Every structure is written in structure tokens, then in C-alpha cells.
Amino acid sequence: MKTRITELFGIEHPIIQGGMHYVGFAELAAAVSNAGGLGIITGLTQKTPEDLDAEIKKCKALTDKPFGVNLTFLPVLTAPDYPGYVRVIIENGVKAVETAGNNPQSVLPYLKDAGIKVIHKCTSVRHALKAQAIGCDAVSVDGFECGGHPGEDDVPNMILLPRAADELDIPFVASGGQADARSLVASLAMGADGINMGTRFIATKEAPVHEHVKQAIVAASELDTRLVMRPLRNTERVLTNEAVEKLLVIEKEKGKDLQFTDIIEQVAGVYPRIMMEGDMDAGAWSCGMVAGLIHDIPTCKELIDRIMSEAEQIIRGRLEGFLAA
């Protein structure tokens, strides 16, 4: 399948693995890229630019296909060393960067000068238009159903994707709720040039996370996610667990007076315990409603091959069949 996204990134299939904290290590990114998609290393999971340098080199040893690095701009007081991360990305000849969070304008000129393709992940048409205006090559449009931060507008992909298609000139991928061939074909029908998947890629053989995390996703239904940190305007969709239910009680009690410090125990620094040690009640971790569509733990190649072959069956068999000869 050839789309503006496969052309832009030089990949075989229009499928991207979104950056994921403590999931997007070299092993997963390389597996996705080797399977013909675009794998992404999560920059900020690497504590320093030197660590990211080593992770990129590890990925290069595992694949000769294009892969990318995610740079997330967080609402924090002391910013990470973004110039340092950008430097190692450029020095290593990385082909693609996925930016997310705040406006990536401060790093964009450096990335563009180095010939790197930039895809910005955003949750609204106005932010997508802004990304286009400042020179991003593509956007990843994250609907309300997505795992992680869906923004504060609550517009699901059934509306957001055609709205994006109506407004944007640059190509975009559909992100949030994407799991299978039906997701891909529907997203293409709504104007996207591919899909970005997060939660689905955690439940794969190569995702270097604890088995408990994969099993939790397979066991979850579409009813098992919760929105946390809404009063802080930093909404995150997470899988429910003991810590999340406790967090929601605190949010209810504090109401509009809620401070980040009230819920620090449930959200700060919990990812290593969850993803590495498999301590599933350690805190809140991002997970999409799409968990309800995930029932197995294939390899990345099995997953991507299945999506592409079933997409062809849907297009040629089901959709064409509706048309009168």
C-alpha cells in the first residue's frame, strides 16, 4: 500500500508505533521498522542525551530500516536537555522525529536543517493547523479514545479525522483506537494516510515490558480506562487499577482545589515499577480504550502483516462488493 505517509518516511506499510514512556525502547522500535512500519524510540525515557545516543545506536544495530525518535514537550518546571537530545538525533542520522505535547517550534529548524521528517502529534484541528503552519511534515491526529493524553476537547476520531482531512494540506495519520485492519481502512476512508498505534504495540512479543502489562491489556475491555488529572488540564487516559481508583477519590474530594502534589504518589515516577517490574497497582499508566479490541500477543511482524492482508480483503472483498457492477 502506497500513501503519502509511506512515501514521506520511506516505509513499506502506513503504520507507525507512537512513542511510549518505558515501552519505546530500541527492541520495539526495531521490530516495528523491520516489519515495514515506522518504529519510534521514546526520547525522554532515556535519562540523558548520552543514554539516548546509546539507545539509537542499539536500534541501528537491530535494523537497517528507517526509525524515529519521540520528543515529548512536557508541562514541567525544569525542562529536560532538549538541545542535547536533538543533537544526538541529528548526529546519528535519525530519519524521523515524532514531537508531542507543546508546540515543537524551538527544535523544528534544527531538525528540518538536518533533513529529518517531523510528525507532530496533536489532539485538535487547530493544533494540527499550527503544526502545518510552522513547517511540520505531517501530523498524528490523536482522538479522544487514545491512550495517554487526549487533550481537553474530547472529540473522538469519527469526527476529528474527517475534520482534519477537511482542513489540512499535509498528510496525517489517525491515532487513538487503532488496532486492526478495520481501523486502518476506516481511517483511510476518513482521509488519513495511515495509522499510529500505541496500546496495540505494547501487547506484542517484542515490546520490552513485563508480561503482566501485556496480560492486563489482553484482559481489559473498552470499559476499563479512566481519565485522570482532568482538573489539572493535563488529562490522561489510563487503565483502571487500585491506584487509579484512589486517585479519582482524591480528585473528587479536592475538586477544583486539586494540586499535582495531592496525587504525586499515584502518578510520579511509577512507570519503571509498572513496565519493568510488572507491579500493576503501582500507579496510573496510559492505556487506550482500544484494549477492548486486543486479544492476543503477536510479534510485530505478525500484527502488521495481518493488518495489511486483512485490509486488502476488506477493501477488495467487502467494500468493492457494495458497489453495483
Ligand X SMILES: Cc1cc2nc3c(=O)[nH]c(=O)nc-3n(C[C@H](O)[C@H](O)[C@H](O)COP(=O)(O)O)c2cc1C
Residues that bind ligand X (CB under 6 A): 18-21, 23, 42, 70, 72, 100, 121, 142, 146-148, 175-178, 196-200, 285-288, 290
Nearer to ligand X, 304 or 316 (CB): 304
DSSP for 81-116? Answer: -HHHHHHHHHHTT--EEEEEES--TTTHHHHHHTT-
Minimum distance, C-beta of residue 200 to ligand X, in the bound complex (Å)? 6
Instruction: Compute the distance between CA of residue 192 and CA of residue 67 in angstroms, rounded to an integer.
Output: 20
Minimum distance, C-beta of residue 131 to ligand X, in the bound complex (Å)? 13
Beta bridge partners of 319: none
Instruction: Compute the distance between CA of residue 99 and CA of residue 71 in angstroms, rounded to an integer.
Output: 5
Nearer to ligand X, 6 or 157 (CB): 157
Minimum distance, C-beta of residue 99 to ligand X, in the bound complex (Å)? 8
Which residue, judged by CB position, is nearest to ligand X in the bound state?
198
Nearer to ligand X, 95 or 121 (CB): 121
Instruction: Compute the distance between CA of residue 67 and CA of residue 98 in angstroms, rounded to an integer.
Output: 10
Beta bridge partners of 195: 15, 174
Instruction: Compute the distance between CA of residue 175 and CA of residue 17 in angstroms, rounded to an integer.
Output: 10
Cβ-contact 203, 179 below 8 angstroms: no
Nearer to ligand X, 202 or 248 (CB): 202
Nearer to ligand X, 23 or 188 (CB): 23
Minimum distance, C-beta of residue 277 to ligand X, in the bound complex (Å)? 15
At residue 45's C-alpha, the angle toward residues 98 and 210, to 5°, is 110
